[in-house]
A and B are shown apart, each in its own frame.
Chain A
Amino acid sequence: MSSVLFIALPLLFGFATPLLSKFGKNGVAFTSTALQLFLLFLAFSLIGDKPYIEIISIAPPLGISFVLNKVSLFFVTLFTFMMVAFSIYYLSYRKTDAYKNETKFFILLNMLLASAIGLVLSSDIFNVYVFFEIAGISAYILTAYKKTPSALEAGIKYLLTGSIASIFLVFAIILIYLNIGSLNLAIIAQDFETLPHNIKVFISILFLIGFGFKVEIFPLNFWVSDVYEGSTALVNSLFSGIVVKAYLFAFFHILYLFLPSGEFSTFLIYLGAISMIIAEIVALKQTNLKRVFAYSSLGQVALIFTAFALQSIDAIQGALFIILAHSIAKIVIFLALTTIEKNYKSLDINVLKELNAPFLRVVIVIAMLSLLGIPLFAGFIGKFLVLKAFAVEQIFPILAIIIIASLLEAVYYFKLIGFMFEKGDRKDKIKVDFTHKFIFSLLTFLILLVGITPFVISGFLLDSANVMLDSISYIAMLVKG
Protein backbone atom coordinates (compact mmCIF):
# COMPACT_ATOMS: atom_id res chain seq x y z
CA MET A 1 0.00 0.00 0.00
CA SER A 2 1.23 3.37 -0.74
CA SER A 3 1.11 6.66 1.10
CA VAL A 4 0.28 8.74 -1.96
CA LEU A 5 -3.23 7.30 -1.82
CA PHE A 6 -3.91 9.48 1.20
CA ILE A 7 -3.71 12.48 -1.08
CA ALA A 8 -4.68 11.07 -4.46
CA LEU A 9 -7.95 9.48 -3.36
CA PRO A 10 -9.47 12.60 -1.73
CA LEU A 11 -8.45 14.55 -4.82
CA LEU A 12 -10.04 11.94 -7.05
CA PHE A 13 -13.16 12.14 -4.93
CA GLY A 14 -13.19 15.92 -5.23
CA PHE A 15 -12.84 15.86 -8.99
CA ALA A 16 -15.45 13.11 -9.39
CA THR A 17 -18.25 14.58 -7.25
CA PRO A 18 -20.36 15.80 -10.20
CA LEU A 19 -20.62 12.17 -11.26
CA LEU A 20 -21.28 10.93 -7.74
CA SER A 21 -24.05 13.44 -7.17
CA LYS A 22 -25.94 11.77 -10.01
CA PHE A 23 -26.50 8.80 -7.67
CA GLY A 24 -29.00 10.66 -5.57
CA LYS A 25 -28.85 12.98 -2.63
CA ASN A 26 -26.89 10.79 -0.28
CA GLY A 27 -24.38 9.49 -2.80
CA VAL A 28 -21.72 12.07 -2.11
CA ALA A 29 -22.17 12.01 1.66
CA PHE A 30 -21.80 8.29 1.97
CA THR A 31 -18.96 8.01 -0.54
CA SER A 32 -17.05 10.69 1.32
CA THR A 33 -17.44 8.96 4.66
CA ALA A 34 -16.62 5.58 3.17
CA LEU A 35 -13.49 7.02 1.61
CA GLN A 36 -12.37 8.46 4.93
CA LEU A 37 -13.03 5.17 6.68
CA PHE A 38 -10.98 3.41 4.02
CA LEU A 39 -8.12 5.86 4.58
CA LEU A 40 -8.35 5.25 8.31
CA PHE A 41 -8.03 1.51 7.78
CA LEU A 42 -5.16 2.13 5.40
CA ALA A 43 -3.43 4.20 8.07
CA PHE A 44 -3.94 1.51 10.67
CA SER A 45 -2.64 -1.14 8.31
CA LEU A 46 0.57 0.83 7.89
CA ILE A 47 1.37 0.89 11.63
CA GLY A 48 4.44 -1.19 12.26
CA ASP A 49 5.86 -0.82 8.78
CA LYS A 50 9.38 0.41 8.26
CA PRO A 51 9.96 4.03 7.23
CA TYR A 52 8.98 4.25 3.65
CA ILE A 53 9.65 6.72 0.83
CA GLU A 54 7.03 7.19 -1.83
CA ILE A 55 8.54 8.39 -5.08
CA ILE A 56 6.58 10.76 -7.31
CA SER A 57 7.80 10.67 -10.94
CA ILE A 58 11.50 10.84 -10.13
CA ALA A 59 13.64 9.70 -7.26
CA PRO A 60 14.73 12.11 -4.50
CA PRO A 61 16.65 14.32 -4.07
CA LEU A 62 15.68 15.57 -7.52
CA GLY A 63 11.95 15.15 -7.34
CA ILE A 64 9.10 15.22 -4.87
CA SER A 65 8.73 12.35 -2.46
CA PHE A 66 6.64 11.47 0.56
CA VAL A 67 8.22 10.12 3.72
CA LEU A 68 6.09 7.89 5.87
CA ASN A 69 7.74 7.27 9.21
CA LYS A 70 6.38 6.82 12.71
CA VAL A 71 5.69 10.44 13.45
CA SER A 72 4.07 11.25 10.12
CA LEU A 73 1.97 8.11 10.44
CA PHE A 74 0.84 9.32 13.88
CA PHE A 75 -0.37 12.58 12.38
CA VAL A 76 -1.95 10.91 9.35
CA THR A 77 -3.87 8.53 11.59
CA LEU A 78 -4.90 11.34 13.91
CA PHE A 79 -6.18 13.55 11.09
CA THR A 80 -8.02 10.74 9.36
CA PHE A 81 -9.59 9.66 12.64
CA MET A 82 -10.68 13.23 13.41
CA MET A 83 -12.19 13.54 9.96
CA VAL A 84 -14.03 10.23 10.29
CA ALA A 85 -15.48 11.29 13.64
CA PHE A 86 -16.49 14.63 12.14
CA SER A 87 -18.07 12.98 9.11
CA ILE A 88 -20.08 10.51 11.13
CA TYR A 89 -21.31 13.36 13.31
CA TYR A 90 -22.22 15.37 10.25
CA LEU A 91 -24.00 12.43 8.56
CA SER A 92 -26.51 12.52 11.34
CA TYR A 93 -26.50 16.31 11.69
CA ARG A 94 -27.34 16.85 8.03
CA LYS A 95 -30.69 15.10 8.34
CA THR A 96 -32.12 18.10 10.11
CA ASP A 97 -29.81 21.01 9.35
CA ALA A 98 -27.80 20.33 6.23
CA TYR A 99 -25.39 22.87 4.79
CA LYS A 100 -26.36 24.49 1.53
CA ASN A 101 -24.66 23.04 -1.57
CA GLU A 102 -23.64 20.03 0.40
CA THR A 103 -21.48 18.44 -2.30
CA LYS A 104 -19.16 21.43 -2.13
CA PHE A 105 -18.94 21.05 1.62
CA PHE A 106 -17.84 17.44 1.26
CA ILE A 107 -15.28 18.35 -1.39
CA LEU A 108 -13.81 20.96 0.94
CA LEU A 109 -13.62 18.48 3.82
CA ASN A 110 -11.73 15.99 1.71
CA MET A 111 -9.40 18.64 0.30
CA LEU A 112 -8.67 19.81 3.83
CA LEU A 113 -7.83 16.25 4.84
CA ALA A 114 -5.65 15.68 1.77
CA SER A 115 -3.72 18.90 2.25
CA ALA A 116 -3.20 18.35 5.98
CA ILE A 117 -1.79 14.90 5.22
CA GLY A 118 0.29 16.35 2.40
CA LEU A 119 1.80 18.94 4.74
CA VAL A 120 2.85 16.13 7.04
CA LEU A 121 4.18 13.71 4.44
CA SER A 122 5.88 15.91 1.87
CA SER A 123 9.64 16.14 1.82
CA ASP A 124 9.90 18.95 -0.70
CA ILE A 125 9.66 22.51 0.45
CA PHE A 126 7.80 23.87 -2.56
CA ASN A 127 5.35 21.01 -2.33
CA VAL A 128 4.84 21.98 1.30
CA TYR A 129 3.98 25.47 0.05
CA VAL A 130 1.39 24.05 -2.37
CA PHE A 131 -0.28 22.07 0.41
CA PHE A 132 -0.01 25.12 2.66
CA GLU A 133 -2.11 26.97 0.10
CA ILE A 134 -4.64 24.17 -0.46
CA ALA A 135 -5.25 23.86 3.27
CA GLY A 136 -5.49 27.65 3.49
CA ILE A 137 -7.98 28.03 0.66
CA SER A 138 -10.22 25.23 1.89
CA ALA A 139 -10.17 26.80 5.33
CA TYR A 140 -11.06 30.27 3.96
CA ILE A 141 -14.06 28.88 2.11
CA LEU A 142 -15.19 26.78 5.07
CA THR A 143 -14.98 29.92 7.23
CA ALA A 144 -17.15 31.97 4.89
CA TYR A 145 -19.41 29.07 3.98
CA LYS A 146 -22.59 30.39 5.62
CA LYS A 147 -22.35 33.71 3.76
CA THR A 148 -23.51 35.76 6.74
CA PRO A 149 -21.79 39.12 7.18
CA SER A 150 -19.72 37.90 10.11
CA ALA A 151 -18.74 34.71 8.29
CA LEU A 152 -17.62 36.71 5.27
CA GLU A 153 -15.77 39.18 7.46
CA ALA A 154 -13.92 36.32 9.11
CA GLY A 155 -13.24 34.84 5.68
CA ILE A 156 -11.78 38.09 4.37
CA LYS A 157 -9.54 38.47 7.42
CA TYR A 158 -8.39 34.88 7.19
CA LEU A 159 -7.71 35.17 3.47
CA LEU A 160 -5.73 38.39 3.79
CA THR A 161 -3.53 37.12 6.60
CA GLY A 162 -3.14 33.85 4.77
CA SER A 163 -1.97 35.48 1.58
CA ILE A 164 0.52 37.65 3.47
CA ALA A 165 1.81 34.51 5.16
CA SER A 166 2.22 32.77 1.84
CA ILE A 167 4.17 35.74 0.44
CA PHE A 168 6.72 35.43 3.22
CA LEU A 169 6.91 31.67 2.81
CA VAL A 170 7.51 32.05 -0.93
CA PHE A 171 10.22 34.60 -0.18
CA ALA A 172 11.95 32.13 2.11
CA ILE A 173 11.69 29.34 -0.46
CA ILE A 174 13.10 31.60 -3.18
CA LEU A 175 16.10 32.52 -1.04
CA ILE A 176 16.65 28.89 -0.15
CA TYR A 177 16.68 27.86 -3.79
CA LEU A 178 18.96 30.74 -4.76
CA ASN A 179 21.48 29.94 -2.06
CA ILE A 180 21.33 26.18 -1.86
CA GLY A 181 20.02 25.16 -5.24
CA SER A 182 17.64 22.49 -4.11
CA LEU A 183 14.11 22.13 -2.85
CA ASN A 184 14.50 18.79 -1.16
CA LEU A 185 14.35 19.12 2.61
CA ALA A 186 17.26 16.73 3.14
CA ILE A 187 19.64 18.55 0.81
CA ILE A 188 18.65 21.90 2.27
CA ALA A 189 19.17 20.53 5.76
CA GLN A 190 22.66 19.37 4.81
CA ASP A 191 23.69 22.72 3.41
CA PHE A 192 21.76 25.10 5.61
CA GLU A 193 24.44 25.23 8.31
CA THR A 194 27.07 26.34 5.81
CA LEU A 195 25.18 29.46 4.69
CA PRO A 196 26.45 32.89 5.71
CA HIS A 197 25.06 33.87 9.07
CA ASN A 198 23.08 36.86 7.79
CA ILE A 199 21.19 35.02 5.15
CA LYS A 200 20.52 32.13 7.49
CA VAL A 201 18.91 34.38 10.05
CA PHE A 202 16.99 36.19 7.33
CA ILE A 203 15.56 33.00 5.85
CA SER A 204 14.65 31.76 9.31
CA ILE A 205 12.81 34.97 10.13
CA LEU A 206 10.89 34.93 6.84
CA PHE A 207 10.02 31.33 7.47
CA LEU A 208 8.91 32.09 11.01
CA ILE A 209 6.67 34.93 9.80
CA GLY A 210 5.20 32.77 7.02
CA PHE A 211 4.36 29.87 9.28
CA GLY A 212 3.79 32.09 12.33
CA PHE A 213 0.47 33.28 10.93
CA LYS A 214 -0.65 29.70 10.50
CA VAL A 215 0.61 28.23 13.76
CA GLU A 216 -1.15 31.07 15.54
CA ILE A 217 1.74 32.46 17.47
CA PHE A 218 1.88 35.91 19.09
CA PRO A 219 1.86 38.58 17.61
CA LEU A 220 0.60 37.00 14.39
CA ASN A 221 -2.53 35.45 15.87
CA PHE A 222 -4.83 38.49 15.95
CA TRP A 223 -7.11 36.94 13.33
CA VAL A 224 -7.74 33.61 15.06
CA SER A 225 -10.51 34.56 17.46
CA ASP A 226 -12.41 36.46 14.75
CA VAL A 227 -12.22 33.47 12.44
CA TYR A 228 -13.49 31.14 15.14
CA GLU A 229 -16.32 33.49 15.97
CA GLY A 230 -17.29 34.13 12.38
CA SER A 231 -17.38 30.53 11.24
CA THR A 232 -19.61 27.83 12.63
CA ALA A 233 -18.70 25.71 15.63
CA LEU A 234 -18.91 22.65 13.41
CA VAL A 235 -16.10 23.88 11.19
CA ASN A 236 -14.09 25.17 14.14
CA SER A 237 -13.64 21.61 15.32
CA LEU A 238 -11.67 20.98 12.13
CA PHE A 239 -9.58 24.14 12.45
CA SER A 240 -8.65 23.29 15.98
CA GLY A 241 -8.34 19.55 15.49
CA ILE A 242 -6.63 19.25 12.13
CA VAL A 243 -5.49 22.42 10.37
CA VAL A 244 -3.37 24.03 13.05
CA LYS A 245 -1.83 20.69 14.02
CA ALA A 246 -0.74 20.05 10.44
CA TYR A 247 0.89 23.46 10.24
CA LEU A 248 2.56 22.97 13.63
CA PHE A 249 4.06 19.67 12.59
CA ALA A 250 5.25 20.98 9.22
CA PHE A 251 6.86 24.00 10.89
CA PHE A 252 8.76 22.10 13.55
CA HIS A 253 9.64 19.21 11.29
CA ILE A 254 11.34 21.65 8.93
CA LEU A 255 12.86 23.61 11.80
CA TYR A 256 14.46 20.51 13.31
CA LEU A 257 15.89 19.61 9.94
CA PHE A 258 17.30 23.04 9.17
CA LEU A 259 18.52 24.01 12.61
CA PRO A 260 19.31 20.79 14.45
CA SER A 261 21.43 22.62 17.00
CA GLY A 262 18.50 24.74 18.06
CA GLU A 263 19.86 28.23 17.51
CA PHE A 264 16.56 30.03 17.97
CA SER A 265 15.28 27.64 20.55
CA THR A 266 15.29 30.08 23.47
CA PHE A 267 13.63 32.79 21.42
CA LEU A 268 10.89 30.42 20.25
CA ILE A 269 10.32 29.07 23.76
CA TYR A 270 9.74 32.56 25.12
CA LEU A 271 7.59 33.49 22.12
CA GLY A 272 5.39 30.48 22.83
CA ALA A 273 5.26 31.26 26.52
CA ILE A 274 4.21 34.87 25.87
CA SER A 275 1.46 33.75 23.47
CA MET A 276 0.27 31.22 26.01
CA ILE A 277 -0.08 33.66 28.86
CA ILE A 278 -1.68 36.37 26.69
CA ALA A 279 -4.21 33.92 25.22
CA GLU A 280 -5.23 32.67 28.64
CA ILE A 281 -5.58 36.19 30.06
CA VAL A 282 -7.72 37.36 27.15
CA ALA A 283 -9.85 34.20 27.36
CA LEU A 284 -10.94 35.18 30.88
CA LYS A 285 -13.15 38.05 29.78
CA GLN A 286 -14.76 36.53 26.71
CA THR A 287 -18.52 36.17 26.63
CA ASN A 288 -18.96 34.10 23.48
CA LEU A 289 -18.33 30.39 23.83
CA LYS A 290 -16.71 30.12 20.40
CA ARG A 291 -14.29 32.89 21.36
CA VAL A 292 -13.56 31.34 24.75
CA PHE A 293 -12.56 28.10 23.10
CA ALA A 294 -10.70 29.93 20.37
CA TYR A 295 -8.47 31.52 23.00
CA SER A 296 -8.19 28.24 24.83
CA SER A 297 -7.03 26.70 21.54
CA LEU A 298 -4.49 29.49 21.18
CA GLY A 299 -3.21 28.76 24.67
CA GLN A 300 -2.90 25.04 24.05
CA VAL A 301 -1.27 25.53 20.66
CA ALA A 302 1.21 27.91 22.26
CA LEU A 303 1.96 25.27 24.90
CA ILE A 304 2.62 22.73 22.15
CA PHE A 305 4.76 25.31 20.37
CA THR A 306 6.81 25.92 23.51
CA ALA A 307 7.29 22.21 24.07
CA PHE A 308 8.34 21.58 20.49
CA ALA A 309 10.72 24.54 20.61
CA LEU A 310 12.71 22.97 23.44
CA GLN A 311 13.94 20.26 21.03
CA SER A 312 14.24 17.55 23.60
CA ILE A 313 12.73 14.10 23.31
CA ASP A 314 10.70 14.28 26.49
CA ALA A 315 9.20 17.60 25.49
CA ILE A 316 8.35 16.34 22.01
CA GLN A 317 6.73 13.24 23.42
CA GLY A 318 4.73 15.46 25.74
CA ALA A 319 3.78 17.73 22.87
CA LEU A 320 2.54 14.77 20.83
CA PHE A 321 0.46 13.67 23.82
CA ILE A 322 -0.98 17.16 24.14
CA ILE A 323 -1.74 17.22 20.41
CA LEU A 324 -3.64 13.96 20.72
CA ALA A 325 -5.53 15.06 23.83
CA HIS A 326 -6.24 18.55 22.55
CA SER A 327 -7.52 17.37 19.17
CA ILE A 328 -9.93 14.92 20.72
CA ALA A 329 -11.08 17.31 23.43
CA LYS A 330 -11.61 20.21 21.05
CA ILE A 331 -13.53 18.17 18.53
CA VAL A 332 -15.76 16.96 21.37
CA ILE A 333 -16.32 20.48 22.64
CA PHE A 334 -16.99 22.08 19.29
CA LEU A 335 -19.32 19.30 18.17
CA ALA A 336 -21.18 19.61 21.46
CA LEU A 337 -21.38 23.37 20.93
CA THR A 338 -22.82 22.68 17.47
CA THR A 339 -25.58 20.62 19.02
CA ILE A 340 -26.22 23.33 21.62
CA GLU A 341 -26.29 26.09 19.02
CA LYS A 342 -28.67 24.13 16.82
CA ASN A 343 -31.13 23.77 19.70
CA TYR A 344 -30.77 27.08 21.52
CA LYS A 345 -29.75 29.32 18.60
CA SER A 346 -27.13 31.06 20.68
CA LEU A 347 -23.62 30.49 21.91
CA ASP A 348 -23.45 33.22 24.48
CA ILE A 349 -21.76 32.15 27.66
CA ASN A 350 -25.05 32.41 29.55
CA VAL A 351 -26.58 29.67 27.47
CA LEU A 352 -24.73 27.19 29.65
CA LYS A 353 -26.78 28.32 32.65
CA GLU A 354 -29.91 27.12 30.93
CA LEU A 355 -28.36 24.05 29.37
CA ASN A 356 -30.54 21.03 29.84
CA ALA A 357 -28.64 18.05 28.49
CA PRO A 358 -27.05 15.79 31.08
CA PHE A 359 -25.17 13.74 28.52
CA LEU A 360 -23.60 16.72 26.77
CA ARG A 361 -22.79 18.28 30.11
CA VAL A 362 -20.80 15.26 31.21
CA VAL A 363 -19.03 15.05 27.86
CA ILE A 364 -18.05 18.72 27.89
CA VAL A 365 -16.81 18.51 31.48
CA ILE A 366 -14.64 15.50 30.67
CA ALA A 367 -13.17 17.27 27.66
CA MET A 368 -12.46 20.41 29.71
CA LEU A 369 -10.81 18.46 32.50
CA SER A 370 -8.65 16.78 29.91
CA LEU A 371 -7.67 20.15 28.47
CA LEU A 372 -6.77 21.32 31.97
CA GLY A 373 -4.48 18.38 32.50
CA ILE A 374 -6.18 16.83 35.51
CA PRO A 375 -4.77 13.40 36.32
CA LEU A 376 -6.62 10.41 34.86
CA PHE A 377 -7.56 12.45 31.79
CA ALA A 378 -5.67 12.44 28.51
CA GLY A 379 -4.26 15.93 28.87
CA PHE A 380 -2.40 15.17 32.09
CA ILE A 381 0.41 12.99 30.84
CA GLY A 382 1.37 15.41 28.08
CA LYS A 383 1.49 18.42 30.37
CA PHE A 384 3.39 16.40 32.95
CA LEU A 385 6.01 15.31 30.43
CA VAL A 386 6.43 18.86 29.17
CA LEU A 387 6.84 20.22 32.70
CA LYS A 388 9.32 17.48 33.46
CA ALA A 389 11.33 18.30 30.36
CA PHE A 390 11.53 21.96 31.31
CA ALA A 391 12.49 21.04 34.86
CA VAL A 392 15.26 18.80 33.57
CA GLU A 393 16.56 21.61 31.40
CA GLN A 394 16.24 23.94 34.40
CA ILE A 395 14.27 26.61 32.57
CA PHE A 396 12.20 27.64 35.55
CA PRO A 397 10.52 30.80 34.20
CA ILE A 398 8.79 28.67 31.58
CA LEU A 399 7.70 26.20 34.24
CA ALA A 400 6.16 29.05 36.17
CA ILE A 401 4.45 30.44 33.08
CA ILE A 402 2.97 27.07 32.15
CA ILE A 403 1.62 26.60 35.63
CA ILE A 404 0.19 30.13 35.79
CA ALA A 405 -1.41 29.64 32.39
CA SER A 406 -2.95 26.38 33.54
CA LEU A 407 -4.33 28.11 36.61
CA LEU A 408 -5.83 30.86 34.48
CA GLU A 409 -7.30 28.19 32.24
CA ALA A 410 -8.75 26.50 35.29
CA VAL A 411 -10.40 29.77 36.34
CA TYR A 412 -12.49 30.10 33.22
CA TYR A 413 -13.13 26.41 32.75
CA PHE A 414 -14.45 26.11 36.27
CA LYS A 415 -16.52 29.23 35.67
CA LEU A 416 -18.10 27.46 32.70
CA ILE A 417 -18.55 24.25 34.66
CA GLY A 418 -20.15 26.27 37.43
CA PHE A 419 -22.55 27.80 34.92
CA MET A 420 -23.48 24.36 33.69
CA PHE A 421 -24.35 23.05 37.13
CA GLU A 422 -25.94 26.22 38.45
CA LYS A 423 -29.42 25.83 39.81
CA GLY A 424 -32.03 27.76 37.94
CA ASP A 425 -34.47 27.71 35.08
CA ARG A 426 -33.61 25.30 32.36
CA LYS A 427 -34.61 25.32 28.73
CA ASP A 428 -36.12 22.37 26.91
CA LYS A 429 -34.14 19.20 27.07
CA ILE A 430 -31.81 18.62 24.13
CA LYS A 431 -32.32 15.29 22.45
CA VAL A 432 -29.04 13.78 21.39
CA ASP A 433 -29.59 11.13 18.79
CA PHE A 434 -27.92 7.76 18.74
CA THR A 435 -25.13 8.50 16.25
CA HIS A 436 -24.06 11.59 18.14
CA LYS A 437 -24.15 9.71 21.41
CA PHE A 438 -21.96 7.05 19.86
CA ILE A 439 -19.41 9.57 18.58
CA PHE A 440 -19.29 11.49 21.86
CA SER A 441 -18.96 8.31 23.88
CA LEU A 442 -16.22 6.99 21.64
CA LEU A 443 -14.23 10.21 21.92
CA THR A 444 -14.65 10.56 25.67
CA PHE A 445 -13.75 6.90 26.04
CA LEU A 446 -10.53 7.64 24.18
CA ILE A 447 -9.83 10.58 26.47
CA LEU A 448 -10.24 8.37 29.51
CA LEU A 449 -8.34 5.48 27.94
CA VAL A 450 -5.31 7.62 27.15
CA GLY A 451 -5.61 9.27 30.56
CA ILE A 452 -5.82 6.12 32.64
CA THR A 453 -3.56 3.85 30.60
CA PRO A 454 -1.15 6.18 28.80
CA PHE A 455 1.26 3.29 28.27
CA VAL A 456 -0.86 1.92 25.42
CA ILE A 457 0.46 4.70 23.24
CA SER A 458 3.42 6.22 25.05
CA GLY A 459 5.89 3.78 23.49
CA PHE A 460 4.71 4.68 20.01
CA LEU A 461 4.86 8.38 20.81
CA LEU A 462 8.36 8.04 22.27
CA ASP A 463 9.51 6.39 19.05
CA SER A 464 7.76 9.13 17.10
CA ALA A 465 9.53 11.82 19.11
CA ASN A 466 12.84 10.10 18.46
CA VAL A 467 12.12 9.93 14.74
CA MET A 468 11.01 13.54 14.62
CA LEU A 469 14.16 14.82 16.28
CA ASP A 470 16.49 12.52 14.41
CA SER A 471 17.31 14.62 11.37
CA ILE A 472 20.40 12.61 10.45
CA SER A 473 18.61 9.40 9.55
CA TYR A 474 15.88 11.37 7.78
CA ILE A 475 18.53 13.02 5.62
CA ALA A 476 20.33 9.74 5.04
CA MET A 477 17.10 8.08 3.98
CA LEU A 478 16.30 10.75 1.41
CA VAL A 479 19.75 11.40 0.02
CA LYS A 480 20.45 7.73 -0.46
CA GLY A 481 17.12 7.54 -2.28
Chain B
Amino acid sequence: MFEFFNQPEVIKIVVTVGSMTLFFVGLFGLLTQKHLIKIFMSVAIMETALFLLFIGLIYKQSALAPILTDNQQGFINMNDPVPQAMILTAIVIGMAVLALGVSFAIEYYKLTGKTDIDEITSLRN
Protein backbone atom coordinates (compact mmCIF):
# COMPACT_ATOMS: atom_id res chain seq x y z
CA MET B 1 0.00 0.00 0.00
CA PHE B 2 2.82 2.38 0.84
CA GLU B 3 4.49 1.75 -2.50
CA PHE B 4 1.57 3.41 -4.21
CA PHE B 5 2.54 6.74 -2.68
CA ASN B 6 6.13 6.43 -3.79
CA GLN B 7 5.40 6.86 -7.49
CA PRO B 8 6.66 10.22 -8.73
CA GLU B 9 3.28 11.12 -10.25
CA VAL B 10 1.47 10.43 -7.01
CA ILE B 11 3.97 12.51 -5.04
CA LYS B 12 3.46 15.38 -7.48
CA ILE B 13 -0.31 15.14 -7.09
CA VAL B 14 0.00 14.99 -3.31
CA VAL B 15 2.26 18.04 -3.32
CA THR B 16 -0.02 20.01 -5.63
CA VAL B 17 -3.22 19.21 -3.77
CA GLY B 18 -1.63 19.60 -0.36
CA SER B 19 0.04 22.92 -0.97
CA MET B 20 -3.01 24.31 -2.74
CA THR B 21 -5.15 23.30 0.21
CA LEU B 22 -2.70 25.09 2.49
CA PHE B 23 -2.94 28.08 0.17
CA PHE B 24 -6.71 27.85 0.47
CA VAL B 25 -6.46 27.89 4.27
CA GLY B 26 -4.37 31.06 4.08
CA LEU B 27 -6.74 32.68 1.61
CA PHE B 28 -9.71 31.73 3.76
CA GLY B 29 -8.03 33.33 6.76
CA LEU B 30 -7.23 36.44 4.76
CA LEU B 31 -10.85 36.81 3.70
CA THR B 32 -12.55 36.01 6.99
CA GLN B 33 -10.25 37.01 9.84
CA LYS B 34 -10.39 40.47 11.35
CA HIS B 35 -7.43 40.73 13.67
CA LEU B 36 -4.32 42.19 12.05
CA ILE B 37 -2.03 39.49 13.47
CA LYS B 38 -4.27 36.80 12.03
CA ILE B 39 -4.19 38.49 8.65
CA PHE B 40 -0.42 38.67 8.61
CA MET B 41 -0.38 35.05 9.67
CA SER B 42 -2.64 34.09 6.78
CA VAL B 43 -0.32 35.84 4.36
CA ALA B 44 2.64 33.94 5.84
CA ILE B 45 0.78 30.65 5.45
CA MET B 46 0.00 31.41 1.81
CA GLU B 47 3.66 32.12 1.16
CA THR B 48 4.74 28.89 2.84
CA ALA B 49 2.25 26.99 0.68
CA LEU B 50 3.76 28.43 -2.49
CA PHE B 51 7.29 27.53 -1.36
CA LEU B 52 6.19 23.97 -0.64
CA LEU B 53 4.59 23.74 -4.08
CA PHE B 54 7.76 24.88 -5.77
CA ILE B 55 10.25 22.72 -3.90
CA GLY B 56 7.89 19.75 -3.97
CA LEU B 57 7.38 19.81 -7.72
CA ILE B 58 11.09 20.21 -8.41
CA TYR B 59 11.91 17.29 -6.11
CA LYS B 60 13.19 14.11 -7.74
CA GLN B 61 13.29 11.06 -5.51
CA SER B 62 16.37 9.57 -7.12
CA ALA B 63 18.35 12.79 -7.05
CA LEU B 64 20.47 14.06 -4.18
CA ALA B 65 20.65 17.32 -2.32
CA PRO B 66 22.75 19.81 -4.30
CA ILE B 67 25.72 19.61 -1.93
CA LEU B 68 28.87 17.72 -2.79
CA THR B 69 29.95 15.24 -0.12
CA ASP B 70 32.88 12.89 0.10
CA ASN B 71 31.60 9.85 -1.76
CA GLN B 72 30.20 11.68 -4.79
CA GLN B 73 31.79 12.08 -8.16
CA GLY B 74 30.63 15.53 -9.16
CA PHE B 75 27.60 17.70 -9.56
CA ILE B 76 25.48 15.08 -11.29
CA ASN B 77 22.10 13.65 -10.41
CA MET B 78 21.27 16.43 -8.01
CA ASN B 79 18.13 18.41 -7.32
CA ASP B 80 17.86 21.77 -9.00
CA PRO B 81 19.57 24.41 -6.81
CA VAL B 82 17.96 27.46 -8.43
CA PRO B 83 14.49 27.03 -6.85
CA GLN B 84 16.13 26.56 -3.48
CA ALA B 85 18.06 29.78 -3.89
CA MET B 86 14.91 31.60 -5.00
CA ILE B 87 12.90 30.31 -2.06
CA LEU B 88 15.68 31.29 0.32
CA THR B 89 15.45 34.83 -0.98
CA ALA B 90 11.68 34.84 -0.89
CA ILE B 91 11.52 33.58 2.71
CA VAL B 92 13.78 36.37 3.94
CA ILE B 93 11.86 39.01 2.00
CA GLY B 94 8.56 37.68 3.32
CA MET B 95 9.85 37.84 6.88
CA ALA B 96 11.06 41.42 6.39
CA VAL B 97 7.68 42.56 5.10
CA LEU B 98 5.94 40.71 7.91
CA ALA B 99 8.09 42.37 10.58
CA LEU B 100 7.48 45.76 9.05
CA GLY B 101 3.74 45.17 8.93
CA VAL B 102 3.69 44.10 12.56
CA SER B 103 5.59 47.21 13.58
CA PHE B 104 3.03 49.35 11.71
CA ALA B 105 0.26 47.51 13.49
CA ILE B 106 1.90 48.00 16.90
CA GLU B 107 2.36 51.70 16.36
CA TYR B 108 -1.19 52.06 15.05
CA TYR B 109 -2.52 50.26 18.09
CA LYS B 110 -0.54 52.57 20.38
CA LEU B 111 -2.16 55.58 18.78
CA THR B 112 -5.74 54.44 18.30
CA GLY B 113 -6.27 51.19 20.17
CA LYS B 114 -7.61 49.42 17.10
CA THR B 115 -6.51 46.03 15.81
CA ASP B 116 -9.54 45.06 13.82
CA ILE B 117 -9.19 45.42 10.06
CA ASP B 118 -12.86 46.41 9.79
CA GLU B 119 -12.36 49.34 12.14
CA ILE B 120 -9.41 50.73 10.21
CA THR B 121 -11.55 52.99 8.09
CA SER B 122 -10.90 56.53 9.24
CA LEU B 123 -9.78 57.56 5.75
CA ARG B 124 -12.85 58.22 3.69
CA ASN B 125 -14.36 55.58 1.38
Contacts and interface: CB of A to CB of B under 8 A. Distances in A.
Direct contact of A and B (CB under 8 A): yes
Interface of A: 126, 130, 133, 136-137, 140-141, 144, 147-150, 152-157, 159-160, 162-164, 166-167, 170-171, 173-174, 177-178, 183, 225-226, 229-230, 288, 291
B43 interface: yes
Interface of B: 30, 36, 39, 43, 46-47, 50, 53-54, 57-58, 82-83, 86, 89-90, 93-94, 96-98, 100-101, 104-105, 107-108, 111-112, 120, 122-125
Contacts of A136: 97
Say what secondary structure dominates the interface of chain A: helix
A163 B82 contact: no
Given A167-B46, A178-B57, A137 B96 contact: yes
Contact of A149 (B50, B100, B111): B111
30 contacts: A126-B86, A130-B89, A136-B97, A140-B100, A140-B104, A141-B100, A144-B104, A147-B111, A148-B111, A149-B122, A150-B122, A152-B111, A153-B108, A153-B120, A153-B122, A156-B36, A156-B101, A156-B105, A156-B108, A159-B97, A159-B104, A163-B97, A164-B30, A170-B47, A173-B86, A177-B54, A178-B57, A183-B86, A229-B123, A229-B124
A170 B50 contact: yes
Contacts of A152: 104, 107-108, 111
A181 to B, nearest CB: 9
A153 B123 contact: yes
A170 B90 contact: yes
B76 to A, nearest CB: 18
Chain B interface, DSSP helix/strand/loop, else mixed: helix
B94 to A, nearest CB: 8
B101 A160 contact: yes
A140 B107 CA distance: 14
Given A149-B108, A150-B122, A159-B101, A178 B58 contact: yes
Given A156-B36, A163-B43, 15 more contacts: A126-B86, A133-B93, A144-B104, A144-B107, A149-B112, A155-B104, A163-B98, A164-B43, A167-B46, A170-B90, A174-B53, A178-B58, A183-B86, A229-B123, A230-B123
A174 B50 contact: yes
Report, nearest first, the 7 A-B pairs whose CB atoms are least far apart.
A152-B108, A226-B123, A174-B54, A159-B101, A149-B111, A155-B104, A156-B104
